[in-house]
Amino acid sequence: MTGFDFTFFLEVLVGGLLSGVMYSLVAIGFVLIYKTSGVLNFAQGAMLLFAALTFVSLVERGVPFALALAITFLVMVLLGITIERTVLRPLVNKPPITLFMATLGLSYIIEGAAQLIWGTQVHGLDLGIDDTPLEISGILISKFDLFAAAVAATMVAVLTVLFRWTRVGLAFRAVADDQFAALAVGLRLPRIWATVWTAAGLIALVAGLLWGARLGVQFSLSLVVLKALPVLVLGGFDSILGAIVGGLLIGASEKLAEVYLGDVFGGGIESWFAYAIALAFLLIRPAGLFGQKLVERA
Amino acid sequence: MSLPTKLRHLAALTALALVAAAPAATADDQSTGKEQFFPLQSYRVGPYAAGGTGFFGGTIDYFNLINTRDGGVNGVKLTWEEGETQYEVERGVEVYERLKNRANIAAWNPLSVGIAYAMIDRISKDRVPLITINHGRTDSTDGRVFPYVFPLLLNPYSETSGIINYLASREGGVDKLKGKKLVVLYHGSPYGKETIPIYELLKDKYGFDVQQIEVPHPGNEQQAQWLQIRRIKPDYVILRGWGVMNPVALKTAQKTGFPADHIIGNVWSNSEEDVLPAGDAAKGYVAITTQASGADYPVLQEVVKTVYDAGKGNLEDKKRIGSVYHNLGIVNGILNVEAVRIAQEKFGKRTLTGDEVRWGFEHLKLDEARVAALGAKGLFHSINVTWDNHEGDGRVTFQQWDGAKWNVVSDWISPDWALLRPIIEKSAAAYAAEKGIKIRTSGDVDKVTELGSEAPAASAKN
């Protein structure tokens, strides 16, 4: 290698930022649940797999695209309500670790159910978005990743409006702030949680379609949660903005590290490099960049 | 999806992270005593289920064909039981522990490098063959050190040599390789790294340039690697992938403007499951194979007529008959059955011990005429396993994806076995020294453990 190739650096950086947006799409689902119920929903990846597999299986059986989308959304709503009724409601006021373990179990059940219902075959998913690259000043940019970034931006905007300027959002924030106080003022916790899980199901559907189009719809889709965890640590578990910023930082830094530091460590470092950054952040700023600092009084 | 299959999935689902033990189709004649048992460490759920269902489905379909059409191998019924591994080593070992005491075990066929590695010491002690068709330890080709391990048809070094020979033929001769730039994109696992030294060796021999780039498991992000490839501007990229890594590689190649017809996939990057998720990005992609795909071969037609039309087919989706993994399973079934048949010719038409079946594998010679007689002409070329060459000089061919199916685009190609053999022997010798293994000679081949005997006998009845 001779000299520093700035164009190449920019290309890696842009590619990393766009990959980071894909991580953010998954992380937003986590944030939504955590923000309103304090539960780290490890089943988000399995929900993503379930949504994508349901959608693609319907399309392959001849169901029109829009109808398949609507049916899948309905399925995700039912799934969200079922989870709330059968898992979360009986565990109200239980310690966070109990709820986390419950979602861990849920992830296995949803993954198994997805394969039980729809089979184990790998499916292609074509969203009709051409993925030939755009070349801007010598830098290749994926059209598909640009589309994904636009979807993520729209999702963040909608969620921000929902949380800040609607009654439902106000209720969400109240529940997130103090469940007992929210109950005391008459908010119906089960209904709010069911709504949140439904919204998380919708996010899982969107993320599942985009990741499914990228990887193919297969079991490995559920592993994308592993990409979201360092994003959450970095951005904060309860910040939608944090999920976006964290995704961008993780995406860019892991790609740059792979290209510029990979040889030093023998290559293949990006999978653990993101976690190394997250760990460093945990030590310096446990709540993440945008997360709420937890204050506990004895 | 058939009800038994749903129940099988349900069993695996219920087991979750516990011992997954989903007894699958067991042949119907275990009570007569004249049977040969195949424990199958299959994976029908989990991330690699698509490959597992195809491969084990093919092997079981062939066993069913032999049982239904021929009444077994010379009257000895083939029986089997599946144990779900989800492709995880610890589960594979659990299945081994559960099934190892079953009577009349012919051979193990785990289709997993990790599980195979974990079993070598165990099956060597048990004196039962371990079949690692197209994969496994390269040095287990040396039957002097690994009497019970059989990387049939193709070991990773031969695969590497076969790919380079194909590129040479594509370029117009080995001399044209000089100065060419290759990139090997490999899965970040022991499997992926196995061929690193062989590419270096072949680089020195033929004068091409090679850069080897790792993709961390599972391989669902490859932007950084493909941008590096874009900067290197190679003539070819050799894809040594597995699972989700393969379609992601093809899609990312498209994103970075690298042509699919200059990507050459290895033997675990050559299935429909690797290309279908990549959509149009996979059109033109080329991959090595030891067995052609398609259902036009007589043996496949027999399977359809005798097994599927009788409702005994193992694949849920009949469209997968003749797919890459299914055909690999069929070929695996043929090789296992023929090893038993050959061993029966020596030891008698009866149930055999694992060690006797080992002898059968060590004499597994199927020339082109015999392959044709088995209805597999064109499906695979031939095999010639000997006591010290457990790979059996399998030939390879190359197939190109046209967006809907694979088309063969090369003749049958021979790897450079003479070049590779000394490296294999050196590695096997090091293994023997490490483990304190006495290197076998040809005189040891006929010492087999007979029925009811714990120790190998020097002779065998004819």
Encode pLDDT of A254-295 as tens digits. 999 999 998 888 888 988 999 999 999 889 888 888 877 766
Summarised one tens digit per residue, pLDDT across range B136-166 is: 899 999 999 999 999 999 999 999 999 999 9
Q: Which of B17, B53, B254 sits opposite A120 (nearest CB)?
A: B53
DSSP string, B389-432: BSS----BEEEEE-SSSEEE-S--B---HHHHHHHHHHHHHHHH
pLDDT of residue B365: 98
pLDDT at B454: 56
Instruction: Determine, for residues A116 and B244 on separate chains, whether the beta-carbon distance falls below 8 Å.
Output: no
Residue type, B317: D
In-domain check, residue A8: no
Tokens of A165: 């300027």
Judge whether A218 lies within some domain. yes
Interatomic CA distance for residues A77 and A88, integer angstroms: 15
What does the pLDDT read at residue B459?
A: 40
For residue B457, how many other CB atoms are within 10 A of its CB?
A: 13
pLDDT in tens, A119-165: 888 999 999 888 888 888 888 888 898 999 999 889 888 988 988 89
Asked if B58 and B325 count as a contact pair (C-beta separation under 8 A), the reply is yes
Interchain CB contact of A231 with B (< 8 Å): no
Q: What does the pLDDT look like over B393-408, one tens digit per residue?
A: 999 999 999 999 999 9
Residue B36, strand partner residues = B78
Which of 4-33 (A) contact B at CB < 8 A?
A: 5, 8, 11-12, 15-16, 18-19
Q: CB within 8 A of B276, min separation 6: which ones?
A: A122, A123, A124, A216, B247, B282
Assess if residue A213 is contained within a domain. Answer: yes
Domains of chain B: 3-154+293-384+425-457 (3.40.50.2300), 173-289+397-415 (3.40.50.2300)
B140 close to B149: Cβ distance less than 8 angstroms: yes
Q: Touching check for A263 and chain B: CB below 8 Å?
A: no
Whether residue A83 lies inside any domain: the answer is yes
Question: A133 vs chain B: nearest CA distance in angstroms?
Answer: 5
Cβ pair A143, A134 in contact under 8 A: yes
Residue B222 has pLDDT above 70, yes or no: yes
The pLDDT score that the predictor gives to residue A250 is: 95
Q: How many CB atoms lie within 10 A of CB B283?
A: 17
Q: According to the model, what pLDDT value does residue A53 have?
A: 95
| ipTM above 0.85 for this complex | yes
Q: What is the number of CB-based contacts under 8 A between chain A and chain B? A: 137
Q: What H or E segment, with its residue span, contains residue B193? A: helix B190-193
CA nearest to B282 within chain A? A124
Looking at chain B, which residue has its C-alpha nearest residue A218? B47
Quick check: is A295 in a domain?
no
**Could you tell me which residues come within 8 angstroms of residue A114 by beta carbon, excluding any fewer than 6 positions away?**
A46, A49, A50, A53, A54
Using one digit for the tens of pLDDT, what is the confidence trace for B429-447?
999 999 999 999 999 989 8
Polymer length of chain B: 462
A9 within domain boundaries? no
Sheet holding B397-401, edge to edge: B209-215, B181-187, B236-240, B263-265, B286-289, B397-401, B406-408
Each residue of B272-309: pLDDT tens digit? Answer: 999 999 999 999 999 999 999 999 999 999 999 999 99
Section B61-88 average pLDDT: 97
* Strands B181-187 vs B236-240: parallel, antiparallel or unpaired: parallel
- A174: closest CA of chain B, how far (Å): 37
Which chain B residue has its CA at the smallest distance from A261's CA? B224
Q: In sequence order, which ranges of B194-312 are alpha helices (DSSP H)? A: 196-206, 223-232, 245-255, 272-275, 298-302
What is the distance of C-alpha B382 from the center of its chain? Answer: 15
Please list the helix, strand and coil fractions of chain B in percent, rounded to the nearest 5, in that order.
Answer: 45, 15, 40
Choose among A132, A220, A269: nearest Cβ to B243. A220
Closest CA to A248 of A15, A5, A63, A2: A15
Count of domains observed in chain A = 1
* pLDDT confidence bin for A180, thresholds 50/70/90: confident
CA distance A276 to chain B (A): 15
Has residue A255 been placed in a domain?
yes
Residue B364 has pLDDT above 90, yes or no: yes
> Using 50, 70 and 90 to split pLDDT, how confident is the model at A296?
low
Is the omega angle on the peptide bond into residue A133 within 30 degrees of 0, that is, cis? no
Chain A partners of B217 at a C-beta cutoff of 8 Å? 271
A64 shares contact with chain B (CB less than 8 Å): no
CB spacing of A116 vs B251 below 8 angstroms: no
For residue A298, the model assigns a pLDDT of 55
Distance from CA of A184 to the nearest CA of B (A): 40
Q: Do A222 and A49 touch, CB atoms closer than 8 A? A: yes
The pLDDT mean for chain B works out to 91
- Confidence class of residue B102 from pLDDT cuts 50, 70 and 90? very high
Q: A218 and B213: CB-CB below 8 Å?
A: no
Residue A248 in any domain: the answer is yes
Q: How far is B133 from chain A (nearest CA, A)?
A: 22
Per-residue pLDDT at B214 exceeds 70 = yes
Global pTM? 0.87
What is residue B427's predicted lDDT score, i.e. its pLDDT?
96
Put simply, the answer to whether B273 touches A121 (Cβ < 8 Å) is: yes
Residue to test with chain A: of B9, B221, B285, most A Cβ within 10 A: B221
Integer Cα distance of A73 and A107 in angstroms: 19
Q: Which residue of A has its CA nearest to B281?
A: A131
Q: Which residues is B38 bridged to in the sheet?
A: B80
Cα–Cα dist B78/B67, whole Å: 7
B122 falls in which pLDDT band (50, 70, 90)? very high
| Close Cβ partners of B128 (under 8 Å, ≥ 6 residues apart) | B105, B106, B107, B108, B148, B354, B355, B357, B358
Dihedral of alpha carbons B49, B327, B131, B216, sign: negative
Q: Are residues B13 and A116, on separate chains, in Cβ contact within 8 Å?
A: yes
**Tokens (6 digits) for A208:** 């599942």
pLDDT at B5: 46
A219 part of contact set with chain B, CB < 8 Å: yes
Strand partners, B449: B456
Please tell me whether residue B208 adopts helix, strand or coil conformation: coil
SS3 content of chain A, % helix, strand, coil (to 5): 75, 5, 20
Which distant-in-sequence residues (6+ apart) come within 8 Å of A186 by Cβ? none
Residue B9 pLDDT exceeds 90: no
Give the nearest partner residue to B277 out of A5, A216, A268, using CB atoms. Answer: A216
pLDDT at A135: 87
Q: Does A142 touch chain B (CB under 8 A)?
A: yes
pLDDT tier, B2 (very low <50, low <70, confident <90, very high otherwise): very low
Q: Which of B6, B50, B230 sits opposite A121 (nearest CB)?
A: B50
Q: Can you give the residue range of the structural domain that contains A64?
A: 21-125+132-284
CB B292 within 8 A of CB B378: yes
Q: Does A270 touch chain B (CB under 8 A)?
A: yes
Average pLDDT over residues A28-34: 91
Strands B130-131 and B77-84: unpaired
Contact A268 B214 (CB under 8 A): yes
Coil/strand/helix, residue B186: strand
| pLDDT number for residue A79 | 93
User: How far apart are alpha carbons A149 and B246 in whole angstroms?
Assistant: 24
Cα–Cα distance between A99 and A87 in angstroms, integer?
9
Say whether residue A218 is in contact with chain B using an 8 A CB cutoff: yes
Q: What is the CATH number of the domain that holds A179?
A: 1.10.3470
Taking an 8 Å cut-off on Cβ atoms, the answer to whether A215 and B248 are in contact is yes
Give the number of other Cβ atoms within 10 Å of residue B459's Cβ: 9
Nearest CB partner across the interface for A116, out of B9, B216, B247:
B9
Confidence tier at B200 by pLDDT (50, 70, 90) = very high
What integer pLDDT is reported at residue B462 of this predicted model? 34
Q: How confident is the model at residue B21 (pLDDT cuts 50, 70, 90)?
A: very low
Mean pLDDT over A15-30 rounds to 93
Per-residue pLDDT at A121: 87
- Quick check: B24 pLDDT over 60? no
Residues from chain B contacting residue A144 (CB–CB below 8 Å)? 255
Residue of chain B minimizing CA distance to A9: B227
